[in-house]
A = this chain, B = another copy of it.
Amino acid sequence: MSTPKMKLSCPMPKLDYDRISLAHGGGGTLTNNLLAKGVFDLLGNELLDKHHDGAIFDWSGKTAFTTDSFVISPLFFPGGDIGELAVNGTVNDLAMCGAIPKYLSLSFIIEEGLMMDDFWRILISIKSACEAANVKVITGDTKVVENGKGDKIFINTTGIGHVMDGAQIDIDRVSVGDAIIVSDVIASHGIAIMSVREGLEFDSDILSDTRPLHNACNSLIQTFGSSIKLLKDPTRGGLASVLNEIARDSANGILLEETKIPIDNQVKAACEILGLDPLYVANEGIFIAVVEADKAEEVVVHLKSLDPNSKATVIGSVTEKHPRQVVIKSGIGGKRIVNMLVGQQLPRIC
């Protein structure tokens, strides 16, 4: 469950239109006004303020570079919105590289007719999330497509960060005996979205877990160095799909213990009602760490010291048995293979 988040409150500037029009993407006066009053004022910094075709800065060292487009529906959901998600998603992908997130690009594809109020709420949310993650938006782009050719707003963020000294995140380092740790309860994001998605509505207090993970990941690397072999955030496809990718790409097996996998009781109940296996439900605010076995308990203690509410725990291990397969052991000792998600559970979960 995510903790309550502080949001900035900035009055919307006086703009000439209530809704985004095609002309806001035309590259002329409306585009310039929207950027000047709507974006640059809010997100401005010394690099973005140059308004050039790109940002220019000095940089040196091992670098992580990652991109994600966000198409989530609805735009506003329990626990977050597309703006916050777009920042956190890319911040987290940098964190999974063992990097300290630094700069983001921000690109909008807006459907004609998007309410200016909604765009403003999303911008405010982006600003808040950037401040929380200590990243800056330094370059961007805005396109507008005709009504019916998009869906309100899609956001791409691309990020760069400094890979930490001592980070040795590499799938090739995963080896037999390593412990698999999950940083917190699973499946909250997907269930929060489903709880408000058309046709699937039910009352719940379940919130998306969207949040930046770089502090926890950076702290693990600072404390445990190369004992942290891999970090992955189990977003689309859930825990099962990401663990299958790790098994496949490392050519090892993974054995999970079902009773160890942390899940909120409400989320578990919702999964049962909806007939969903929580192992396949999307997450946005947790990560999997593959760590040297003899450091596993220390890593868990460390994660709990960073967040006393964390349900971090060892959920399994890497094994030489059943290479390239993920197997789960149930509470009563039975075993079954957990495949990668076949098809998809719910479109546009992120």
A residues at B contact (CB < 8 Å):
22-23, 25-32, 50-71, 73, 92-94, 96-99, 103, 105-109, 138-141, 143-146, 148-151, 154, 156, 158-160, 163, 169-171, 232-233, 235-238, 241, 245, 249, 280, 282, 339-345, 347-348
Best-surrounded residue of A31, A156, A171, A232 (most CB of chain B within 10 A): A156
Contact B139 A69 (CB under 8 A): no
Partner of A143, one of B69, B149, B237, B241: B69
Instruction: Report the separation of the CA atoms of residues A160 and B138 in the bound assembly, to the nearest whole angstrom.
Output: 13
Contact A109 B154 (CB under 8 A): yes
Q: Which residue of B lies closest to A92 (CB)?
A: B53
Contact A60 B57 (CB under 8 A): no
Q: Give the top 5 A-B pairs by smallest Cβ distance, nearest first.
A: A26-B344, A27-B236, A28-B341, A54-B66, A27-B237
Contact B53 A57 (CB under 8 A): no
Contact B141 A345 (CB under 8 A): no
Contact B53 A233 (CB under 8 A): yes
List 17 A–B pairs whose Cβ atoms lie within 8 Å, in order of A's numbering: A23-B343, A26-B236, A26-B237, A27-B236, A28-B280, A28-B340, A54-B93, A56-B65, A57-B65, A59-B63, A67-B140, A73-B149, A145-B347, A145-B348, A148-B148, A156-B158, A160-B160
Contact A105 B66 (CB under 8 A): yes
Best-surrounded residue of A107, A236, A249 (most CB of chain B within 10 A): A107
Residues of B within 8 A of A26 (CB): 236-237, 341, 343-345, 347
Contact A343 B53 (CB under 8 A): no
Contact A59 B58 (CB under 8 A): no
Instruction: Report the separation of the CA atoms of residues A170 and B54 in the bound assembly, to the nearest whole angstrom.
Output: 11
Partner of A53, one of B96, B144, B156, B341: B96
Residues of B within 8 A of A237 (CB): 26-28, 31
Contact B56 A146 (CB under 8 A): no
Residues of B within 8 A of A143 (CB): 69-71, 154, 348
Contact B53 A62 (CB under 8 A): no
Instruction: Report the separation of the CA atoms of residues A341 and B30 in the bound assembly, to the nearest whole angstrom.
Output: 9
A235 shortest CB reach to chain B, Å:
7
Q: Which residue of B lies closest to A28 (CB)?
A: B341
Residues of B within 8 A of A144 (CB): 347
Partner of A27, one of B22, B149, B160, B341: B341
Contact A61 B59 (CB under 8 A): yes
Partner of A28, one of B105, B148, B163, B241: B241
Residues of B within 8 A of A344 (CB): 22-23, 25-28, 30
Instruction: Report the separation of the CA atoms of residues A292 and B55 in the bound assembly, to the nearest whole angstrom.
Output: 23
Contact A57 B50 (CB under 8 A): no
Q: Which residue of B lies closest to A68 (CB)?
A: B141
